[in-house]
Amino acid sequence: MGVMQGVGMLERELRTSRQMFRASFHAAAIGKAIISVTGLCVEVNTSFAAMLGYSTGEMVGMHFSDFTHPHDIAADLHLFEGVMRGERDSYQMEKRYLRRDGAILHVLLSATVVREEDGTPIQFISEIVDLSERRRVGLELQEANAKLRELVVRDHLTGLYNRRGFEEMLATPIGTRHTSLLLVDLDNFKRINDGLGHTAGDLVLCEVGKRLPLQVREGDYVARVGGDEFGVILFDADCTQAEAIARRIVTELGSAFQIKGLQAYVGASVGIACSSGRAVTLHEMMVQADAALYVAKGAGRGRWSLAA
More confident residue, 215 or 144: 215
More confident residue, 307 or 14: 307
More confident residue, 269 or 15: 269
Q: pTM score, two decimals?
A: 0.58
Q: Is the pLDDT of residue 201 over 90?
A: no
More confident residue, 223 or 197: 223
Give the confidence band of 87 by pLDDT, cuts at 50, 70, 90. Answer: very high
Mean pLDDT of 271-281: 90
Mean pLDDT of 221-237: 94
The reported pLDDT for the residue numbered 101 is 94
Provide the percentage of residues in the chain whose pLDDT is more than 70. Answer: 91
The reported pLDDT for the residue numbered 240 is 94
Give the confidence band of 198 by pLDDT, cuts at 50, 70, 90. Answer: confident
Mean pLDDT of 18-26: 65
Q: Is the pLDDT of residue 57 over 80?
A: yes
Mean pLDDT of 189-211: 87
Mean pLDDT of 36-51: 93
Mean pLDDT of 285-289: 95
Say if 3-136 and 154-306 have the same CATH topology.
no
Range scoring the smallest mean pLDDT among 14-18, 50-54, 73-77: 14-18
More confident residue, 8 or 307: 307
Tell me the DSSP string of the chain. --HHHHHHHHHHHHHHHHHHHHHHHHH-SSEEEEEETTSBEEEE-HHHHHHHT--HHHHTT-BGGGSB-GGGHHHHHHHHHHHHTTS-SEEEEEEEEE-TTS-EEEEEEEEEEEE-TTS-EEEEEEEEEE-HHHHHHHHHHHHHHHHHHHHHHB-TTTSSB-HHHHHHHHT---TT--EEEEEEEESSHHHHHHHH-HHHHHHHHHHHHHHHHHHS-TT-EEEE-SSSEEEEEEET--HHHHHHHHHHHHHHHHS-EEETTEEE---EEEEEEE-TT-S--HHHHHHHHHHHHHHHHHTTSSSEEE--
The reported pLDDT for the residue numbered 264 is 83
Give the confidence band of 16 by pLDDT, cuts at 50, 70, 90. Answer: low
The reported pLDDT for the residue numbered 196 is 79
Mean pLDDT of the chain, nearest integer: 88
The CATH number that domain 154-306 falls under is: 3.30.70.270
More confident residue, 112 or 197: 112
The reported pLDDT for the residue numbered 3 is 46
Q: Is the pLDDT of residue 38 over 50?
A: yes
Q: Is the pLDDT of residue 22 over 70?
A: no
- So where are the chain's domains? 3-136, 154-306
Given the residues 194, 228, 236, 238, select the one marked as catalytic. 228
Architecture of domain 3-136 in CATH? Answer: 2-Layer Sandwich (3.30)
Q: Is the pLDDT of residue 228 over 90?
A: yes
130 flagged as catalytic = no
The reported pLDDT for the residue numbered 14 is 55
